[in-house]
Chains A and B, each alone.
Chain A
Amino acid sequence: MRLARELACNEVVELVTAYLEDALPAEDRERFEEHLVFCDGCDRYLEQMRATISATRNVPVGELPPELEERLLEAFRDWRPA
């Protein structure tokens, strides 16, 4: 994506994931970072997205419903390893 001019905050917030994934072209990355220098709101938004990502890492992965896992286990037991 190519950004021709100075970024507005409502554009910056849409680029955060691309920025964190290192998917912005060098020029746009520079504009993004320049914006953060003078914009506390966007700087904070970026930090909060980072904090959100690391908090999400701590969420348990969850489990299959037990009766479904039981069905899979039965299939596994019935299966004859080649």
Chain B
Amino acid sequence: METEQASHDAALIEGLRAGEEAAFAELMRLYGAGMLRVAQMYVPSRAIAEDVVQEAWLGVLKGIARFEGRSSLKTWLFRIVANTAKTRGVREARSIPFSSLGGGGADEPAVDPDRFLGDGERYPGHWAVPPQSWAPEGRLLAREAMDVIEREIDRLPPAQRAVITMRDVQGFSSEEVCNALDLTETNQRVLLHRARAKVRNALEEYMR
């Protein structure tokens, strides 16, 4: 798997260096939308995020000749986007602390607190309204379920959206996401957990 990825990377890098449009198209198909989502983590508007992607792309072209493959192509690519976006975010006077990236803690529980027994009960914190069965789970494969997930991901705060996109849609490892976005393991996990919990909640609604 690692070597397959590495040789695919190598072919893509060769293609980009040679100016082949097929390599460009492949790169955009794989990572274009993800790049935009990462940019949106750090800047206040979609329009600025699009500018960031363009600026980052010029950086990629400038750097591709010297890219040595110490990290994977995608990690390198997303790092450039994240760094470009951070610089631009500072210029836009919007340097964002992690807490306001939607990473918070107790203020944003995975499950509605009303679904657990209260402090006055015999078993506080235990389920009052436990999750119901999703049988038959085949419904999760329907086009409609995909739409529910996409819609929920679109509604997430930008940092949660970027992390769940990279981890669960694109299949990055946690290490790759932490490297690309300069997040600690813990922060990455909090963002991912919030995002997954909200997508589960949306599916629960749909599966009812």
Contacts and interface: CB of A to CB of B under 8 A. Distances in A.
A18 B189 contact: yes
A61 B170 contact: yes
B48 interface: no
Contacts of A63: 28-29, 32-33
B125 interface: yes
Nearest to B125: A8
A64 B28 contact: yes
Given A9-B125, A10-B116, A68-B53, A76 B19 contact: yes
Contacts, number: 150
B116 A21 contact: no
Interface size classification for chain A:
35 or more
Given A48-B134, A68-B54, A53 B196 contact: yes
Contacts of A73: 21, 24
A41 B123 CA distance: 14
Nearest to B58: A75
Interface string A21-56: 101000000000000000111101100110111111
Nearest to A17: B193
A65 B189 contact: no
Interface of B: 17-19, 21, 24, 28-36, 50, 53-54, 57-58, 61, 65, 109-111, 113, 116, 123-127, 130-131, 133-134, 137, 140-141, 145-146, 149-150, 153, 164-165, 168-171, 174, 185, 189, 192-193, 196-197, 199-200, 203-204
Interface of A: 8-11, 13-14, 16-18, 21, 23, 39-42, 44-45, 48-49, 51-65, 68-69, 71-73, 75-77, 79, 81-82
25 contacts: A8-B123, A8-B126, A10-B111, A16-B193, A17-B196, A41-B127, A48-B131, A48-B200, A48-B204, A51-B134, A56-B164, A56-B169, A57-B169, A58-B146, A59-B169, A61-B34, A63-B29, A68-B53, A69-B28, A72-B24, A76-B21, A76-B24, A79-B61, A81-B17, A81-B19
